[in-house]
Chains A and B, each alone.
Chain A
């Protein structure tokens, strides 16, 4: 059984830093893989591009997905993940600044498991991200690995 990893798709280095810090505070920063745009995230998940040859069966336990991303935006990433047979059931949590109604609706329509707005207040942010990590890493029973 592989290690429990989190795929964090985040282009903003500051947010990345703060997110990782929040996760660390809750001791759930076991193994966080960072993807800095949508294309990189997809490469990682589908074993393409720079991740050519990666075992695609080794999926992260959850994907924390920002929406505003260079190259391929978050919603498109989500759509492709849900289209792919291998990643169809992969837990994806949208973690983004916007709480625009249409983003929330589109996210759920494409099959996100959660939609979390990043609070501006740092304390709140740490709580939100930390609890998120805790939940997915510790509490949630993951889908059995497909061989």
Chain B
């Protein structure tokens, strides 16, 4: 049976879909609607069935056929059962479950199942044991089958039209309509057509007719009100979930019921067979099921009762057993109908009550939620007698009290109201009452636990008695604190911004989408000299310098949200001057996000611009001067070079002559001269040598000044080591310890740095010459700004003359003590100066000297 239902249900849906895919006229659509599967008014819920169906892939026609055959078979079976119970007429039974099957099938699957019912009914009657010939029998069977089919069609139509169709058993009103229209009215069709058919065929006499009709009618009605609800209710797939906690109770109900039924309809126990009141003990079970187990439980109990009662009554046992079996069955039928209707009504009423209660509870929950969410609570206060008040937990929560902490007294309420507002609250209530008005509304501050202040809005309604005496006030408290705080914060922030705009050092210019002034701050009037009135309605573009206008217009209105555009341009002051301004513009938007204009922050940068221009001019002048100087210097350099070249060539030749010819004289005429003459010539010759050295050193010095510096990393320690090695090689006899700190590196010109170290180390070597042992050190200081140094423990110098050390030809020692031209340190100083470094010396007579120099990295 379930499979058959599934199959039919599925096909029904398929049919529906194919129908809906065709655009149909409203009328035909309405007609099609009656096809809808009654239990699934919401088409969606059918889908699970479809998906779960195991035979979904089976050929549709075949499954439809199987469904039809199954329904026909069931109808046929039920019909045969009914006829088997028919005591008087072979075709009329007081027990006729087939009607119930037919109606249920119509309600579940729609009227298209009618052929199955018709064929089923036809077969039942054709196969009935009868003495008549075939043709009259066929005619009679056709008539009865037609009656049965029409009965089912009409019953289902009435149920669908007036009693919610498949949901007829969920509401009390529809149960009554179903019982009356389908159960009582529609079944008359079958009874009338059926008995007429029998009568026409002569199988029924006129005298038998009324009784036969009544039996038929009651039998069908029994099927309609007991079997049809059973099938419809239990086959509804959209059932409420079973209450598993009630399962033991349900089992107890069924066990007790079966016991009671056993007692009522068993032979051995009861001897007052025919007392109808014996059925009354069954009623409590019906009530029990109806109250506790909904329609499903109630109809199940009715079904069980019916089964036992039918079997018992057929055996002549039980309260309905009568001497005439037909009468017994009619009585039984009567009982079953009443039980069924009563059970269903009870269940429906209970369900309706339950759902109403649930709905009420839901509504209340929603209300509480809404109150909590809106920080709203309810309260009442008696205005006569006790004057006690009652607060909802919400009100207590707003006041910061625990639930139930409010003692109901007026004193406690007023103690929570801010002292400054207490009288106002009291007065508001008193005034309303004295004016005889109902509504009172007052806003006040209240003190929370912990001392913080909150804002409350109380609305109350005063209830008066018939004499106009106030009885009670009922109202709500709304917590306004957060709204108030937001408002105050907003006011504060607005105030802050207003002050900011008014006192800002920048001009603030609000303009509309046409760049026309909407508002300017005082600073704007200061910068430009126009009054706020003169600014009003004036366009930005009217004031922009003509040269800047196209640029400003191009950049206007481009900034995206949250960004600002910075630009610098000129604006005309009232006195006609142009002010240079730096403007930072951003888009102004209204609440809907529509651009309503621009906000420009204006800074007067005229002075800066002037200063910039001045600096530019100075720079130009400076550059010009530098060029001039450079040209001069280049000239001087060229002259110097020419001079040096000339010195190098021309000054030496005479020296060579002096020297050469002195020697020649000495050689040739030496013997003719006396000692003095020879001495004079020798002095002349030596002076020439001395002058040649001076010239050579001067040229070296000038070379230091000339030439490009080629800067790179130079390892000074390595250079110092080379010089030290040379010195030791030249005078291997001297005991001089030369200590060179490793890996001292500087960035500079290697040639010049080599000269520096060469001169300093040779200097140190020279001035330690008078000491038997000496120590020379090259290293770097560990100061914050480290300097290289060359230290010796030689003759040293008097610090009073330190300033002379680095001058050209300046010597602190007599040439007879220490030879030299006095150019070496001058070379050192020039070389270091060319690197941007510094050179200085420390020393004392006979305590050595230290020469420091720095080489800032290039």
Measuring CB to CB, which residues of chain A are less than 8 angstroms from any residue of chain B? 12, 14-15, 18, 21, 67-68, 96-101, 118-123, 125
Contact A99 B656 (CB under 8 A): no
With A120-B689, A120-B692, A121-B689 in contact, do A68 and B656 touch (Cβ < 8 Å)?
A: no
Contact B659 A118 (CB under 8 A): no
B644 proximal to A (CB < 8 A) = yes
With A120-B692, A122-B663 in contact, do A14 and B648 touch (Cβ < 8 Å)?
A: no
Contact A97 B652 (CB under 8 A): yes
With A68-B649, A68-B650 in contact, do A100 and B656 touch (Cβ < 8 Å)?
A: no
Contact B692 A100 (CB under 8 A): no
Contact A18 B649 (CB under 8 A): no
A101 to B660, CA, bound (A): 26
Measuring CB to CB, which residues of chain B are less than 8 angstroms from any residue of chain A? 644-645, 648-650, 652-653, 655-657, 659-664, 685, 688-689, 692, 699, 703
Contact B689 A118 (CB under 8 A): no
5 A-B residue pairs with CB within 8 Å: A67-B649, A68-B649, A97-B650, A98-B648, A101-B703
Identify the closest chain B residue to A21 (Cβ).
Answer: B664
Contact B656 A118 (CB under 8 A): yes
A18 to B659, CA, bound (A): 10
Contact B652 A18 (CB under 8 A): no
Contact A18 B660 (CB under 8 A): yes
Identify the closest chain B residue to A97 (Cβ).
Answer: B652
Identify the closest chain A residue to B692 (Cβ).
Answer: A120
Of the residues A12, A99, A101, A119, contact of B653 by C-beta under 8 Å: A12
User: Chain B nearest CB: distance from A95 CB in Å?
Assistant: 12
A99 to B648, CA, bound (A): 7
Identify the closest chain B residue to A12 (Cβ).
Answer: B653
Contact B657 A121 (CB under 8 A): no
User: Chain A nearest CB: distance from B140 CB in Å?
Assistant: 146
A97 to B657, CA, bound (A): 12
Contact A120 B652 (CB under 8 A): yes
Contact B659 A122 (CB under 8 A): yes
Note all chain A residues with C-beta closer than 8 A to B664.
Answer: 18, 21, 122
Chain A interface helix/strand/loop/mixed: loop
User: Chain B nearest CB: distance from A85 CB in Å?
Assistant: 31
A12 to B660, CA, bound (A): 13
Contact B661 A97 (CB under 8 A): no
Note all chain B residues with C-beta closer than 8 A to A96.
Answer: 649
Note all chain B residues with C-beta closer than 8 A to A121.
Answer: 659, 689, 692
With A120-B689, A122-B663 in contact, do A18 and B656 touch (Cβ < 8 Å)?
A: yes
A19 to B649, CA, bound (A): 17
Of the residues A21, A97, A98, A101, contact of B656 by C-beta under 8 Å: A97
Contact A14 B652 (CB under 8 A): no
A12 to B662, CA, bound (A): 17
A8 to B644, CA, bound (A): 26
With A14-B661, A21-B664 in contact, do A120 and B648 touch (Cβ < 8 Å)?
A: no
User: Chain A nearest CB: distance from B778 CB in Å?
Assistant: 28
Contact B644 A120 (CB under 8 A): no
Note all chain A residues with C-beta closer than 8 A to B653.
Answer: 12, 14-15, 97
Additional A-B contact list (18), CB under 8 Å, known A101-B703, A118-B652, A122-B664 = A12-B653, A14-B661, A18-B660, A18-B664, A67-B649, A97-B652, A97-B656, A98-B645, A99-B648, A118-B656, A119-B656, A120-B655, A120-B689, A121-B659, A122-B662, A122-B685, A123-B663, A125-B656
Contact B657 A14 (CB under 8 A): yes
Note all chain A residues with C-beta closer than 8 A to B659.
Answer: 120-122
User: Chain A nearest CB: distance from B677 CB in Å?
Assistant: 18
A21 to B667, CA, bound (A): 12
A37 to B663, CA, bound (A): 27
Identify the closest chain A residue to B664 (Cβ).
Answer: A21
Note all chain A residues with C-beta closer than 8 A to B685.
Answer: 122
A119 to B649, CA, bound (A): 12
Note all chain A residues with C-beta closer than 8 A to B661.
Answer: 14, 18
User: Chain B nearest CB: distance from A106 CB in Å?
Assistant: 12
Identify the closest chain B residue to A117 (Cβ).
Answer: B652
User: Chain B nearest CB: distance from A66 CB in Å?
Assistant: 9
A122 to B655, CA, bound (A): 10
Instruction: Give the 10 A-B CB pairs with smallest separation, nearest first.
Output: A120-B692, A97-B652, A14-B657, A122-B663, A98-B648, A122-B660, A18-B660, A68-B649, A98-B649, A120-B655
